[in-house]
Chain A
Amino acid sequence: MQALLDLLTYQENMPFIFNSGRFLFFFSLLFAAYGLVVGHKTARLAYLTAFSLLFYYISSGGFLLLLLFCILFNFFFAQLLPPKEEEKSPPALLSLGILVNLSFLLYYKYANFFIGNLNGLGLDYPLIHNLVLPVGISFFTFQTISYLVDVRQGKIPAATSLLDFAFYLSFFPQLVAGPIVRAIDFLPQLGRKIYYRPAREEEANSKAFFLNKALLGTGLFLILKGLLKKALLADYLGQYVDLVFSQPEGQTALEALLGIYAYTIQIYGDFSGYSDMAIGIALLLGFELPDNFRRPYRALNITDFWRRWHISLSSWLRDYIYIPLGGNRKGPLKQYLFLMITMLVGGFWHGASWAFVFWGGMHGLGLMLHKAWKLWANRPKGKVWAVLAWVLNFHFVAFLWVYFRMGSFEGSNLLIGRLFTHWQAAQWEAFWLARPTVVVFLGLALLLHSFSDKDKQNMQNFFGQLPWAFQALIFLLALVLIFQFQSADVAPFIYFQF
């Protein structure tokens, strides 16, 4: 009994992640009784909210109180924000609400960064020790900000039920690493009925949510896909990435290059795998979350990349920073400036270091150059051009990931520098002989990434049509593969740290 309770208790240094036995236990427990409450809205939301809060407690321990404060504060604060047309609430009030939300993020994530930089200017402030970043704070802070802004702008009414709002903010599949769900998309889903059967003819126009065979197949397939992306592909390549990035000075050019490619695949597999699992799990519970990735490494330019990568964040930055600043309405030069500001904020959101700011700034520069290129140059067409554009864009993104992963300029430059100084023909064969699985995994990742939407839909349909016992067997086989390839260390989701 104690062992079971331990599974549901916060444990420092033990991230609570979807691809863990603890989460399987948590979800099984939740789902076992979900059938009893799913038919009744209040009971369903209360039940899922309770489990979501438990989820956050297991993930973050005492920071549950912070989440509860955010729920209560934003729920009641939004009641003070009548829509803009009514001209009752001054903009300063909204700013106050945003500031309160940002204050926690600023303190936990950026305090030591600012202190360190001030100290660099000659001051002498002590760093705050034992400052632990609450899991998911960057995500739910952005959700609360967008909620307050949308309420103020009259896009949505303030939530009238505390339970609805608590559920929206704490819904566990998206709580700690996104997708960043907007209230405008999510709150309307809360009132609808949920059925685990196909809709009957007379229910064709019903607003209820029917989890039919196709949707069930989609949900299960997304979970399986996410599991394999995260726990097999990303975690396996992550083991190699750890070796390369922990010792950049010891790498040959080939090892460094494959390490960079491996991280490029790892971060995609890790984050999109998490998103897939989140969307799949939410779907099994009767809720729809937005897509977060659309095969980003197929992009031929950097603008297209940001339409495909972490869509919920890039659209958030667009809607709440870039467009309010002026977007493309004030001429190209100001547009470039706004793009740069937006991407710098995006970089800084990812982490409190100048390397992240640099990463964001370089993406901002890429976006500016691409916009200018589109404006002034005739865009060449043809397959050769497309291949060249892909190679250029892919490597631009991949090389900037080095700064993202390394977190320091020195190490990043060292690793990239190895590419130009340590080539030896013998490396290819030796690497293949020593680490064939790394090469195979990289090739496999690129192959899977090249599948069309239709191919993926076909695979999803095929999986959805299988008898459920076969589906369970496939999950089990996936778990065996994961056990075999995993390191003894638990690899938390990369985006947990943001």
Chain B
Amino acid sequence: MRYYWQILGILILLWLGLFALAKIELPPSWSISFDAPGLRAWLQDEEVEEQAVRLPQSDSLVQEKEQKEDKTAAKSQQDSSSKYILLAGDSMIEHFKATIKKEARAHGHQIISCIWYGSHTTQWSKKKKLKELIKDYQPDIIFFSVGGNETLFRNIEDRRPYIRDIKAQAKGIPFIWIGPPNWKEDNGFNQILKEEIGDSCYYPSIELRNQLARKSDGAHPTRKASVIWAKAYLEWFAQQSAYKNHCWIWPSLPKAERRSYVKTELDSLLPQRALGHSVRILELNK
């Protein structure tokens, strides 16, 4: 029975090793996603407006321009009506965030955006990124959009616990999950999102599937399409979401019009706090 014990010994060592591995946090997965920054550079129909954050290769977050701003100063800019928004997601939001930023800034909000290329719910659930972002920036509201990479998965029911965990990480902070802008038939991921997050906190981007032009990879919305997507989202956010009264971002206002609201202080359309934002922005710009 000598070799029988040898096989058992190997099995025991293997289990011990696996338990030890479970205690170690391995580096982020080296799995493939459809994001391959640079691969399509020569085919890109549009130039990316801003350099987005790339997360997975290193453990440290690369901060965007506004993240680099002094955090304390940013916090001090907040008043009772100004909000601190965290926008996090996968590569689908690369251009989407530009519009969100523009609109949010126009109404006096501070926004931190974070793109984790190739990410899916597993990573956001298991890794500490979202928790760290929340802890570091203490946002008033979270816009979260992950799921593009999940459209390739077969066992989509497995995503459910990760989705629940991500939602739980928000710890009561207003949280909106912006569904992935599918470029192909949905595999059930959106239905799971809807069930887990709830109608009023889940935006079904999938409904725009046929309206969004795609980049040459056939998957990512182009910059122009992302504007349509972002505006549709903001409209939904302002009118139908659970936090429609939480912070005001939409509709977009031309600069001159914004200024006139401030000047005349006769804004019957806008909530008072939005007016306050505009005033504050003007003050900051001085």
Contact = CB atoms under 8 A, between A and B. Distances in A.
B1 A35 contact: yes
A51 to B, nearest CB: 15
Interface string B173-197: 0000000000110000000000000
Nearest to B214: A250
Interface string A196-239: 11000000000000011100100010000000000000001001
B153 A220 contact: no
Contacts of B2: 196-197
A430 B1 CA distance: 56
A133 to B, nearest CB: 14
Contact of B39 (A34, A431, A468, A487): A431
A181 interface: no
B227 interface: no
Given A211-B3, A249-B218, A471 B10 contact: yes
A243 to B, nearest CB: 5
A247 B3 CA distance: 50
Interface stretch (B22-30, B72-80, B101-109, B265-273): B22-30
B36 A434 contact: yes
A489 B151 CA distance: 11
Interface of A: 12-14, 21, 24, 27-28, 31-32, 34-35, 38, 196-197, 211-213, 216, 220, 236, 239-240, 242-243, 246-247, 249-250, 252, 284, 424, 426-427, 430-431, 433-435, 437-438, 468-469, 471-473, 475-476, 479-480, 483-490, 492
A34 to B, nearest CB: 8
Given A14-B155, A239-B31, A490-B155, A479 B18 contact: yes
A424 B123 CA distance: 35
A278 B139 CA distance: 52
Interface in B11-38: 11, 13-15, 17-18, 21, 26-27, 29-34, 36-38
Among all A-B residue pairs, the 8 with the closest Cβ atoms: A250-B218, A434-B39, A472-B13, A488-B122, A434-B36, A196-B4, A239-B32, A476-B17
Contacts of B38: 430, 433-434
Contacts of B217: 247, 250
B6 interface: yes
Contacts of B7: 31, 196, 216, 220, 284
A33 to B, nearest CB: 10
Given A216-B6, A490-B158, A484 B37 contact: no
Given A21-B18, A31-B8, A32-B11, 5 more contacts: A247-B184, A247-B219, A424-B42, A430-B38, A479-B17
